Amino acid sequence: MDISTRDDCERLVRAFYSRALEDPIIGFLFVDVARLDLDAHVPVITSFWETILLGARTYRGGAFRPHAALHAQVELQGGHFERWLTLWRATVDELFAGERAELAKAHAERVAQAFLARLRSMPSGSDPVPVGGGLAITQHGAAPAR
């Protein structure tokens, strides 16, 4: 059965988070770093998918911003996005099949790639030297290995 209602989107999103929050690779990002409030987040991300998959206009945009905030605390790496996508694809395939299910996987991949590319040009909390403020930070000697 394909994804066809908002309830389907919500079921998909909840099933995804029940995996993601317990995941050894990315779970800590939601639980420990972002301290995700699932009850507040589920309706928002359900609207995101309802907008993409079902043509609703329930999501108002700005999806990138919280990821930039998270990245400022802990560097979001390619491997994190790969893991996110692996869990997402597995959840979609387990629950649904069809054109919209395929679109859900394809669009997630595009968004993940775009987010990762944008984050790469931004400083992160995992960087050895904090960037920001008005001061230029200079270092003598060899640049530290990154």
70 near ligand HEM, rule: CB under 6 A:
yes
d(CA 4, CA 81): 26
Rounded CA separation 134/146 (Å): 23
Those residues whose C-beta lies under 8 Å from the C-beta of residue 69, and which sit 6 or more positions away, are: none
Burial of 36 per CB tally in 10 Å (0-12, 13-18, 19+): middle
Query: Which residue among 3, 81, 100, 119 contacts ligand HEM (CB under 6 A)?
Result: 81
Nearer to ligand HEM, 72 or 111 (CB): 111
- Pick from 44, 90, 95, 122 the residue near ligand HEM by CB under 6 A: 44
- Residue span 22-41 as binding mask against ligand HEM, x where in contact by CB under 6 A, dash where not: ----x--xx---x-x----x
Nearer to ligand HEM, 61 or 134 (CB): 61
Interface with ligand HEM: number of residues (CB under 6 A): 31
Q: Out of 21, 31, 54, 63, point to the residue binding ligand HEM (CB under 6 A).
A: 63
With CA atoms as reference, report the closest residue to 31 among 46, 20, 42, 41. Answer: 20
Q: Which residues of 45-70 are buried (b: 16+ CB within 10 A; e: fewer)?
A: bbbbbbbbbeeeeebeeeeeeebeeb
Q: Please report how close the Cβ of residue 52 comes to ligand HEM at its closest, in angstroms.
A: 4
Name the DSSP class of 31.
I
Residues engaged in binding ligand HEM (CB under 6 A): 26, 29-30, 34, 36, 41, 44-45, 48, 51-52, 59, 61-64, 66-67, 70, 76, 80-81, 84, 107-108, 110-112, 114-115, 118
